[in-house]
Amino acid sequence: MPQRVLVADDDRAIRESLVRALELEGYHVVPVVDGIETLTRARRDAFDALVIDVMMPGVDGLAVCRVLRAEGDHTPVLMLTARVETPDRVAGLDAGADDYLAKPFELDELLARLRALLRRASFGGGDGQESGTALRVGSLLVDPAARRAWWADEELLLSKTEFDLLELLVRNEGIVLDHSTVYQRIWGYDFGADSKNLAVYIGYLRRKLAAAGAPSLVHTVRGVGYTVRRP
């Protein structure tokens, strides 16, 4: 059975181009034109992934994503945006998007990112490995089976990607993971040296750990990557 993808974009040319490209790749595509229709279809039907434009009339893509996440819908979301500044990317990720792609984009890159999201969803985790063994670094406790994490007695409220990244780093405590390795393990695709996705999520983890009272755990090795070390 083909995987079902909802495409939401009020730009007819972009929407029709995406539908053609995705159908040629074997996906079953449902196109919609605004945020209200996106919410209606996403609530009514099951999809394997959602491709949502940020700038839509009425209810925009960020609001759509926030509502779906608040309702417990964890369908992978690839956000399309004409806004490329870091605060705009952060806003998309804060809303619960799994990835973002700036317009104008190459169809090949969109298809690659969509495949990566679908692979991650099918595995249920960043590295495709599930383990019932809790992981600990000092007072940081990560439970892969329950997909929950705590610093001391305070639970960390993490998105799916944030949890996947934290679990990967904790599993490899003391080992410096380069950018390419992290991208492949978490996103299933190496977005290249110019991508800011990883830096944004590292910033998220650091802020959430700091808000829980944790000392510096996630360290940057300049020019190489990231690692977790005990305080």
Q: Give residue for tokens 């792609």.
A: 101
- Report how far residue 212's alpha carbon sits from residue 150's, in angstroms, rounded to the nearest whole number: 9
- Chunked mean pLDDT (size 10), the chain, 231 residues: 93 94 96 94 94 91 90 89 67 78 87 84 50 78 88 89 91 89 81 76 92 93 90 76
Q: Which residues of the chain are in CATH 3.40.50.2300 domains?
A: 4-123
Question: Range(s) for CATH 1.10.10.10 in the chain?
Answer: 135-228
For helices 61-70 and 35-44, give the axis angle rounded to 10 degrees. 30
Q: Which CB contacts under 8 angstroms, 24+ apart, belong to 69-75?
A: 69/95, 69/96, 71/43, 73/42, 73/43, 74/160, 75/42, 75/47, 75/48, 75/49, 75/50, 75/121
pLDDT at 88: 61
- The dihedral built from the CA positions of residue 180, 182, 185 and 187, taken in this order, carries a sign that is negative
One-letter amino acid for residue 203 of the chain: G
Per-residue confidence (pLDDT) for residue 128, from 0 to 100: 40
> In terms of Cα–Cα distance, which of 77, 5, 98 is closest to 46?
5
Measure Cα distances from 22 to 16, 26, 107, 198 in Å.
10, 7, 9, 26
Give the CATH fold of the 135-228 domain.
Arc Repressor Mutant, subunit A (1.10.10)
Q: Report the pLDDT value the prediction gives residue 228, as an integer from 0 to 100.
A: 94
Residue 44's pLDDT is: 93
**Domain 4-123 coded CATH 3.40.50.2300:** yes
Q: What is the pLDDT of residue 71?
A: 87
